[in-house]
Structure 1
Amino acid sequence: MKKLSFINKIIYYINVIVAILLLLSFALPFLPPKTFSILSVLNLGVSFLILVNVLFFLYWLVKLKKQLMLSLFVLFIGYISFGSLYKFSSSKKIESPNNIKVMNYNVRLFNLYNWITEKHVENKIVDFIKAEAPEILSIQEYHPHENIDLSFFKYKYEKLSGNKTKYGQAIFSQFPIVNSGSIEFPDTGNNAIFADILKGSDTVRVYNIHLESLRINTNVETLKNEDSERLFKRIGETFKMQQFQTELFLMHKKQCTYKMIICGDFNNTAFSYVYSKIKGDLNDTFKEAGNGFGRTYNFKFFPVRIDFIFAEESFSVNGFKAYNECYSDHYPIMATLGLK
């Protein structure tokens, strides 16, 4: 420290703070939000903290300073615990007659209220889905829009709520749905649904989960003007609701004896308590076969992955793709799964 210039000392102090915050965030998957609601807010910024620590490491590396060891150590701990934020490997793609293509997509009511000024967004979503041809489609914020025709799927299950505007979750399938139902979350329009799908001689349980929304406006000026204490408190309360909703889901999941696929918009990151609990010993298909950041939410400041497809060990993960089509505030993802 004595050999550092005044400016570099300030930079290093900031580096220490950012490194400590990142180190603290690694404990978040083990800390229930009901007990640590304020601290749990930190997991939303883990991607940002990782990227900043990478920049600090590169800065000290260029300067040939031993201070690079701080961020390097914290990044190494994170890599051992959670893997890499960015996947450098090319997407795995294995063709097999037993493959099932599963897509997850939060369509934001098919742009019902014209959040995107582009015309006929709802038709473009349908055309995109039709072109990519998933055999199972899990949709959050589904709305039976008058211009929407997904009849190229042979079977569907939808669960809608709302008075004037009907919305909810839906599962579409090219394979027969032999059973279906909903897990109701109290005091919210969010819920989880399931469909038992017959694929050959196998019955596969597909869950579609939409956990409580954070309702954070991504507009920079709006965020600047929002009271930070109120914002943190609101996010903390949302995370408490997400934990309760996750507990309801896990009780239902425990009773299932079928091979299982879990899709959904968790409104939380891969560094969160709810992600850790829902994933359990399932495979995160992005980690198994994806590449890049795998971002699923249109957040301007750094890549955010809050939509997931998990699969049991009964499935081989033969492919994964995160798309860039911007027809919603979420990006679609698709996993190719092989029945073993």
Structure 2
Amino acid sequence: MRIPSYYFWPTGFFLFTTPIPLLLNFFFLFSWGWQRSWRVIAPILVIVFTWTYYERGFTFHYNESTRDAVAKNLPGETNLDVLSYNVRIFNTYAHLHDKEYTNSRNMIKWVAENPADVFCLQEFYNEPHSSIYNSVRKIVKKYDKHYFISNTLINRANGQFGMAIISKYPILNKGTIKFEKLTQNHAMFADLKIKSDTVRVYNFHLQSMSIEEQDIIKTYQEQNIFGKDLQNLVRRLKNGFIKRSYQVNTLYDHLKESPYPVIVCGDLNDVPYSYTYQKLNRKLNNAHTAAGWGIGSTYNGILPLLRIDNQFFSPSLEVSNFTVHRDVTFSDHFPLTATYKISR
């Protein structure tokens, strides 16, 4: 996981399939344990030496205790609730929304009424003259919040595509981080003044796989598994692995120079065993690993158990709760919320 894909791109495929050997190791553990064989020592040792891999895939944190921890703030501590959500341009495209735009309206309403202190929204869309997609007016101005939007494209309807950081706390400084040229795949940051402290919040969206679920299903259904469909699928996966390796390095180089503690939210488009995840986890802690429960899958699609959206944070901060809102199904991603303790 420490070898970037632009040096040796097959590592991306190896790391993508890491859960398979981890699950097989459990199979041998129970099988040999049931037989009372001395060979059970081998899978036990594997678990001991690779525990961090297991922890990334499945965590055990009792939510009731974390909620109690939120309530028991020490003097001088402030809770900061952070929402991270890939809103898929609020389903503005015709093939995404229903006839009455109910899904789009409900998603914007859900975000607007969410009680989080900070929103990090990927694939953000705002159309100022639309009664449906005027998201800045409905989410920001209606509730008198501070915001920073990094626009990457404006269409003929004056609709603005990009990402957004929205905060109830003042923004002292802000900026955009380009990956080569400015596209939907980029990063942004905002320095938030939280009482007497300052925290830098990053929002990012790394290169997607550029594949559809049906492409994968079709590949498995083909009798000739080495046909052109599989070759095209591998090529697109390879390009994604390589581009994300470069992009996460750019993001990492920027955040490691931050003068403030950081909270880093976004769509990683990669699994917890990948180079991109490891690069951020080298300096930062992961909110799901620290305070979540279960697998924490964030992709709302037919491909199961994919945790591709994350929140990371500086070790000087503390996370007391982390939730994946799997009941919120407006987008192809589930929203994430975490509660951080900010000490003055």
CA RMSD of aligned residues (A): 2.5
* Partner residue of 1:327 out of 330, 333, 342: 330
Deviation at 1:237, TM superposition (A): 1.9
Residue 242 (str. 1) matches residue 244 (str. 2): yes
SS at match of 1:269: coil
CA 1:301–1:68: 2 relative to 1, 3 Å: farther
Q: Is the 8 A contact 1:38 1:232 kept in 2?
A: no
Q: Report the equivalent of 1:158.
A: 149
SS at match of 1:36: coil
Unaligned segments of structure 2, at least 5 residues = 223-227
Deviation at 1:124, TM superposition (A): 1.9
Q: Report the equivalent of 2:218.
A: 222
Q: Is the 8 A contact 1:217 1:223 kept in 2?
A: no
Residue 283 (str. 1) matches residue 265 (str. 2): no
* Partner residue of 2:114 out of 109, 126, 132: 132
Q: Report the equivalent of 1:101.
A: 81
SS at match of 1:227: helix
Q: Which amino acid aligns with 2:105?
A: N
Identity of aligned residues (%): 28
Deviation at 1:67, TM superposition (A): 6.5
Unaligned segments of structure 1, at least 5 residues = 1-28
CA 1:68–1:304: 2 relative to 1, 3 Å: farther
Deviation at 1:299, TM superposition (A): 4.2
CA 1:203–1:247: 2 relative to 1, 3 Å: same
Greater CA deviation, 36-45 or 192-201? 36-45
For residues 42-98 of structure 1, what are the alpha-carbon distances to aligned partners after superposition, in whole Å with 9 as ceiling and x for unaligned?
A: 222333543454355445656666776665554443325552522233122222360
Deviation at 1:287, TM superposition (A): 1.0
SS at match of 2:302: coil
Greater CA deviation, 318-327 or 78-87? 78-87
CA 1:69–1:223: 2 relative to 1, 3 Å: farther
SS at match of 2:17: helix
CA 1:230–1:172: 2 relative to 1, 3 Å: same
Q: Which amino acid aligns with 1:157?
A: F
Q: TM-score, normalised by structure 2?
A: 0.81
Deviation at 1:320, TM superposition (A): 0.8
For residues 255-297 of structure 1, what are the alpha-carbon distances to aligned partners after superposition, in whole Å with 9 as ceiling and x for unaligned?
A: 3211211111111111111111123232211111111111111
SS at match of 2:304: coil
After TM superposition, where is structure 1 displaced by more than 4 Å over at least 4 residues in a row?
A: 55-73, 116-119
Q: Report the equivalent of 2:186.
A: 191
Greater CA deviation, 221-230 or 279-288? 221-230
Q: Is the 8 A contact 2:123 2:184 kept in 1?
A: no
Rounded to whole Å, the distance in 1 between the matches of 2:296 and 2:266 is: 15
Q: Is the 8 A contact 1:47 1:303 kept in 2?
A: no
Q: Report the equivalent of 1:44.
A: 16
Deviation at 1:112, TM superposition (A): 1.5
Q: Report the equivalent of 1:115.
A: 96
